Amino acid sequence: MKGLMMDFPLTTHAILEYGNRVFPHKEIVTKLPNGSWHRYHFSDLYIRAKQLASALVHSLGVQPGDRVATFAWNHYQHVELYYGIPGAGAICHTLNVRLSVEQIIFIVNHAEAKIIFIDATLVPLFEKVAPYTTGVKKYVLLNAPENFNTSLTDTILYEDLLKESRPDYQWYPSDENDACGLCYTSGTTGNPKGALYSHRSTYLHALALLMPNAANLSVRDRVLLIVPQFHVMAWGFPYVCILSGSDMILPSLHLQPDAIIQILEQEKITVANGVPTIWLGVYDAMKKNPPKEKLALREYVVGGSALPPSLIEAFEKDFGIKGVHAWGMTETSPIGTASRLQNIHDNLTDHEKLAVRAKQGIELPGVEIRAVMEDGSIAPRDGETVGEFEIRGAWIIKSYYKYHDNHLSFSEDGWFKTGDVGTLDAQGYMNISDRSKDLIKSGGEWISSVALEIALMAHPEIKEACVIAIPDEKWVERPLACVVFRNENIVSKEALNAFLGEHFASYQLPDQYIGMNEIPKTSVGKLNKKELRRRWAEGEL
């Protein structure tokens, strides 16, 4: 027997209708690419997102299901696109501005994007892409002056487009299972692959993420969205903030540590998100030049790579700010887990508590995770037995967009294979030891590159560390550590291995250390192991 409850579609415009009804006065603040500030309210976002949806339909002829792309920084217009494009029945397809020209061409053509909204500062980059794209009919320029010069053909200024809207526009009546967003993986393995989010998955992901056990956001928060809107929908924060009534602060391209600190101070930010690299930079800058007054920032939410416990500890000790560790992937919308202490941890020592918080955390309600061993059986939740994580749930992809080899990414019973490896403990905390392709297999024994990196980053003279496998005749693979020293105080291999020796068996210690000025990063700020392997193979390290 079916329940007798209403069919209320969980759509992105239902999120915006809610925000406009109950939090119309809440703020959206942008530091625009030219350094000026823009401030308005949820009620303004509502009006303009509706105008945009109307103009897309009535002026640009957008049809339901069309892919409408964005190539833009984090700002209020990009938030309008997040709501206006699906509000027109189309799919908001975010393009990662940090990918290579070849990858962007591949993605635009694969997604068959018809219209692209581009920030003026990014136009020179897109001019290299445009000649190789097929099917793009219109470019809409964001933050561009009237007389903006570009080789892109068929352009219109964003504000001019909005003028073409009709006042009586009604949101396109999407089914909650219709697609609303499209985001590609950064292609660290092969060509980028598309994750096609639905209205329903987006809504449920945002609801789960705002809860106290995860991002813990409310009307009292002012949230700085550092994670780019061009990567995994800024971790869903543009939806989360509207649902929780949190003020939203958007930094566009001002992502250098000093610029972030200035925004944290000026805007009295209480919560911010970002990858560990960002927070390592912010911590260092704050240490060199401590803020005059204690920041309002209570927590920073970190994912994308492992959050080093040394950073959690230092930030909290020196500035009283908590790091909250979360995990996810493009394919999981992205947040799957978050790590916070519970009352069962009250009697642990500080060191033990830190170890819990450094784990990736427990599943958000709405997803399930299991660790699968090499023989195909499910690993017990004992905190010791290692397996590859598989995930299923309300905001996990069931297939990549227009992709033939889907079967490789899913188990026979339909779980998504994450490619991450590690343990689940009795309390349900996930602990990632590596990506399966980054694990080092030395003489038949596994070595976790992530564990070595985290331990090295706890050394006072090391700023960043990245460990890769290099081929070895005797052991098949051996670990090589690339490190960036603080203050140019170079530490010897013997001293570093003695430091690591407290926690690692001798066969796990790196054979070589290479000092670098900087570790190469991927388009989303992760350690670029593929590039380091290439440099090693070609004798460039």
Catalytic pick among 368, 384, 446, 493: 446
305 is a site residue for ligand ADP (CB under 6 A): yes
Using CB under 6 A, pick the residue from 435, 459, 478, 529 that binds ligand ADP. 435
Beta carbons of 50 and 209 less than 8 angstroms apart? no
For residue 178, the 8-state DSSP code is: S
Catalytic pick among 128, 163, 441, 493: 441
Residue type for 169, please?
Y
d(CA 491, CA 23): 54
306 is a site residue for ligand ADP (CB under 6 A): yes
SS3 503: coil
303 is a site residue for ligand ADP (CB under 6 A): yes
d(CA 423, CA 68): 40
- Quote the least distance from Cβ 166 to ligand ADP, whole Å: 38
Examine residue 334 and say whether the peptide bond preceding it is cis (omega within 30 degrees of 0). Answer: yes
**Residue among 30 and 201 whose Cβ is closer to ligand ADP:** 201
Do you know the residue count of the chain? 541
For residue 200, the 8-state DSSP code is: H
d(CA 371, CA 374): 10
Question: Which residues, 6+ apart, have CB-to-CB distance to 364 below 8 Å?
Answer: 208, 209, 211, 213, 214, 335, 336, 337, 338
Residue type for 118, please?
I
* x/- track of binding to ligand ADP for residues 185-214 (CB under 6 A): xx-x--------------------------
Using CB under 6 A, pick the residue from 70, 103, 202, 418 that binds ligand ADP. 418
327 is a site residue for ligand ADP (CB under 6 A): yes
Please identify, among the stretches 89-97, 401-409, 416-424, 505-513, the one whose residues bind ligand ADP according to the rule CB under 6 A. 416-424
- Quote the least distance from Cβ 75 to ligand ADP, whole Å: 21
Exposed/middle/buried for residue 16 (C-beta within 10 Å: 0-12, 13-18, 19+) = buried
d(CA 304, CA 283): 18
**Residue among 204 and 450 whose Cβ is closer to ligand ADP:** 450
Using CB under 6 A, pick the residue from 247, 299, 390, 420 that binds ligand ADP. 420
- Quote the least distance from Cβ 463 to ligand ADP, whole Å: 19
**Residue among 257 and 361 whose Cβ is closer to ligand ADP:** 361
96 is a site residue for ligand ADP (CB under 6 A): no
Provide the token pair at 116.
Answer: 């692209």
405-438 burial code (b ≥16 CB/10 A, e <16): eeeebbeeeebbbbbbbbbbbeeebbbbbbbeeb
Using CB under 6 A, pick the residue from 19, 236, 238, 304 that binds ligand ADP. 304
SS3 255: coil
185 is catalytic: yes
432 is a site residue for ligand ADP (CB under 6 A): yes
Please identify, among the stretches 163-171, 197-205, 246-254, 302-310, the one whose residues bind ligand ADP according to the rule CB under 6 A. 302-310
Helices (H), ranges, 378-486? 449-457
* x/- track of binding to ligand ADP for residues 331-360 (CB under 6 A): -----------------------------x
446 is catalytic: yes
Please identify, among the stretches 169-177, 299-307, 370-378, 395-403, the one whose residues bind ligand ADP according to the rule CB under 6 A. 299-307
d(CA 480, CA 470): 7
Catalytic pick among 80, 176, 267, 331: 331
325 is a site residue for ligand ADP (CB under 6 A): yes
Catalytic sites, residue numbers = 185, 331, 441, 446
